[in-house]
Amino acid sequence: MDEFQSMVEETKALVQKEIKNKDNVPDFILEKQLYLILEELDKMERIRDIHLFHPYYPKGIADSWDYSNPLAIRLLELLESYRELQ
């Protein structure tokens, strides 16, 4: 397992944890968003090319999430790693 794949798997686990802990999820994070993020993480892991697939989740984070949220930070870090795969 390479470093990017490992990051994706760890991030998926964090997203799934948020889905399971619905009562503790901040109001700005929608459950539907979390499921869409999981789908996008799968695509990122499979495609590995920012020119062929650009995830939508960063726009959702920019529009409505708190930037200090640990999951938001992790997702944006993963996006940077994804961009560097070229």
Question: What was the pLDDT predicted at 25?
Answer: 83
Question: What was the pLDDT predicted at 17?
Answer: 94
User: What are 13-22's contacts with CB under 8 Å, separation 24+?
Assistant: 14/70, 14/71, 14/74, 15/41, 15/71, 18/71
Question: What was the pLDDT predicted at 11?
Answer: 97
| pLDDT in single tens digits along all 86 residues of the chain | 799 999 999 999 999 999 998 888 888 888 999 999 999 999 999 999 999 999 999 998 888 888 899 999 999 999 999 999 97
The residue ranges of every structural domain in the chain are 3-83
